[in-house]
A and B are shown apart, each in its own frame.
Chain A
């Protein structure tokens, strides 16, 4: 299951994680985000143990969205060692997303 990421657990779960973290910035009113949802869950299952997967609801976590300059959703970021290593925007197939992230 993808983790719910909030301002409170962001540092601990994402920035200080020992493994790469995929973070999906989404909102419930965004159709492409809803279509991406199951793909993100699949990735969480497939890469369990190797990569952590989290979701940020931009409606509830406006501060995080702003901090990372999310200006189109879904935006999917790959964090490595506390930094954004890769970024993708828009609905994508699982294989394309993983390829973009080099996973």
Chain B
């Protein structure tokens, strides 16, 4: 069993690897380089790292300029600031100019913990998903995060890679390959589909274990690419099982749950339940407490699965 690692730890390490391989990567952060781990990259490649201070709009703008000059520009900061504070810069400069800016902010979702609702970003997937040209990746563990960052670096155009603060158990081995636009069947099942992203993949797998004890075979899909959305893969699983539960550490408005609902509405209408934060802000607490408080834990997913199965015709 691998040790637990946070997805944010992948950022600095992957940047070091990419620069070592000769990729023209740079990083711009906004006074959070220790937390985002870009400080590790800065220590290894000081000429490729720029700190703008507490100025997220300038972080995105400077990264945009570096991309105009031909660099592959990663940005740090926390998800709440990198998206909300600098949304116009991301929209009108990065996406409208189709630049090689790769947003990889950390501290997304409620697992930020004690810092509370002001710092627990629950709307970032929604904000980024609607931007033309933006690709949105939500890796489930450290290995997936490294692979996602690599795909972002080597694929032209804007990317949003959502990283988290807390250490999470390993789901994947070193043979994992990130498929842009794909959904991975992590566990096969015939009765209900649990479509999850990020730290919720772990919870969905635990829910599948609990359901199995009751004779319910749940299929767990890791939907690590929210955009381009793997609509056909999700629909195929929905057609097979006939019921879907979405699992995300994000608002149920605009994120994975919405993307799945949109796809299934067009391709394969089946009973659907969305597990996520229900249109409220976060609050202070320990990550595990908050997962229970907001109804995101494995037990809540299992309960939602039983509920959605009852609606199946």
Q: Do A and B bind each other?
A: no
| A→B interface (CB under 8 Å) | none
